[in-house]
Amino acid sequence: MKLSVTAKLLFVILSMIISSNLFSQSSIESLHKEVKNLSLKALTTGGSVFAEQDFKKAEELLADAEELIKENQKPEKAIEYLNQAIELYKKAIEIAKGKSPNFSSLMKTRELVLIHGLSESTLKIWKEAEENFVSANEEFEDKDNEGVTKYSNLAEKLYKDAELVAIKDQYLLNVKAALAKAEDNKLEKYTPKTITKIKQYIADAENVLTANRYDTLAAKKILNSALYEINHGVYMQGVFTKMQDEDKTWEDLQLLWEEPIAKIASDLKLFPSFDTDNQNLTSNILQSINAIRAKLADSQKEAQNLKAEIVQLKKSLDETKTALADSKSEGQKLTQELSVAKKETENLAKAAEETQAKLALMEQENVKFKTVSETTEKNLKLIETISTMFLPSEAEVIKNGDLLTIRLVNLNFPTNKATLEPQYFSLLNKVQKAIQTFPNGTVVIEGHTDGVGDYQKNIELSQNRSNSVYQYLMSTMGADAARITVVGLGGSKPIANNSSEEGRAKNRRIEVVINPHLELNK
């Protein structure tokens, strides 16, 4: 059946509309990504301070455009808003470049807050600091030095307060949350002393950060102790409640802790006795351990004695050679005795040389072992340093053979988006430090999705997300492009079951795989 001219025309028009809509959607997404990047750059360079009105207007335009995009309405209007925002952000950035050197010290203090990331608890302080910074800039324009000093000092104090709150949140929130959960589960009923100890640890860590906010290693060490005590308390609570549920008695608890002690005693060839105070058993175990240490010391002493014997043998050899030389002057009468002595001396020399060769070989092996051990220990400390860079809530550091995987458990993207949000910049700064720890290393940034949805779209989405991380490392921190590879794996490598929301959330992740290319002295 032939189509009428009208039907053909309608078909052509409909095809053009569909193609136009698809093109517009792609253009909007690309344009939106560009605007978001410019918004971040304007914020970090101080555009929100030195070009406050332009920045605010650009933010309003961005918000309006995002609302239209969300509702899938008026794409032409959304594009118009985004283009206007681009011009305003660029203008704010250029103004900030010219004015920020006048406040270089304050800008550095401000930057420290952004590095740690803005959160709900820091946002109010941040906004107040920004207002004072704006006032300081206005006083600078009016050439009022007293006003500049006043508002700069207020802004600096507030920025530092915001930074301290951000640092404390970064290190304390997960521990406090764990404690709150434990208390909700009535841990204090079973382990009140442990709860008291945990609260003291948290207070001590907070005091350490208050005294020196950059002494994070000391604070982290204290908080690790707090986390240990929480787990310890939960374990004890489990033991006690299990005893109650199973009608266990104090006798069962006593037998429970006697079992591992009995095994240790048995390995040390001791007969464990629990019918009296366990102090004697403890003393016997310690005595056995000390005896083993004493045997080790004796072995080392014996090795030193062997070295002394070799020295003595060399001395005896020298004395024998001297005696042989003197005997030659005794004449023909001692020829036969001299021949026997020479043979004995040669045998002694051979034995000494063999002993010396064995000693030299032992020394070489010892030096080789010591060098390899020192290098291995150094490499392990480097890897251990990477583990201490991240909080458990931020990333999991996994050692697999020669590879080191940093699984960014706290890095999330908006649904079906690859936009990198500012709150994760501090985490990516740590990733950069981890990469720089291994100057000879190579890096693969892997993007992963869950198993839901179209396979190819998941591949593209994971590729875009890993590209976002790559672009941030390249543009913001100047990473070495030759060392970094980006790959999108979609849902091909799940680490959890996709049948639950929790499992799918774990599968949506970014993993940074580092091959340190460590050199081991041989």
Among 333, 354, 376, give the residue marking a domain's end. Answer: 376
Are 148 and 56 in the same domain? yes
Q: What does the pLDDT look like over 329-387, one tens digit per residue?
A: 676 784 777 678 788 878 877 877 887 888 778 788 777 767 656 766 776 787 788 88
- In the block, tokens 């593209």 appear at 460
Q: What is the pLDDT of residue 6?
A: 58
Q: Give dist(CA 113, CA 161) in Å, integer.
A: 9
Are 149 and 34 in the same domain? yes
Q: What is the pLDDT of residue 275?
A: 65
Among 132, 165, 198, give the residue marking a domain's end. Answer: 165
Are 68 and 130 in the same domain? yes
Are 369 and 420 in the same domain? no
Are 159 and 41 in the same domain? yes
Are 395 and 347 in the same domain? no
Q: Is residue 101 in a domain? A: yes
Are 440 and 330 in the same domain? no
In sequence order, the β-bridge partners of residue 490 are 448
Q: What is the pLDDT of residue 314?
A: 85
Q: Give dist(CA 76, CA 127) in Å, integer.
A: 33
Q: Give dist(CA 307, CA 201) in Å, integer.
A: 52
Domain that holds residue 363: 313-376
Among 165, 200, 222, give the residue marking a domain's end. Answer: 165
DSSP string, 430-479: HHHHHHHT-TT-EEEEEEE--S-S-HHHHHHHHHHHHHHHHHHHHHHH--
Q: Is residue 74 in a domain? A: yes
Are 438 and 406 in the same domain? yes
Are 405 and 486 in the same domain? yes
Q: Give dist(CA 201, CA 225) in Å, integer.
A: 7
Q: Give dist(CA 122, CA 112) in Å, integer.
A: 13
Q: Is residue 308 in a domain? A: no
Q: Is residue 410 in a domain? A: yes
Q: Is residue 420 in a domain? A: yes
Q: Is residue 5 in a domain? A: no
Q: Is residue 327 in a domain? A: yes
Q: What CATH number is attached to the domain comprising 439?
A: 3.30.1330.60
Q: Model-level pTM?
A: 0.44
For residue 331, CA distances in Å to 41, 319, 326, 334, 337 come to 101, 20, 10, 6, 11
- Name the nearest CA neighbour of 213 among 155, 153, 157, 161: 161
Are 327 and 426 in the same domain? no
Q: Is residue 421 in a domain? A: yes
> In this predicted structure, which of 30-44, 97-111, 159-173, 306-320 has the lowest mean pLDDT?
306-320
Q: What does the pLDDT look like over 257-313, one tens digit per residue?
A: 777 887 887 788 776 766 666 666 677 778 778 888 888 888 888 878 888 888 888
Are 394 and 362 in the same domain? no
Q: What is the pLDDT of residue 1?
A: 47
Are 149 and 35 in the same domain? yes
Domain count, the chain: 3
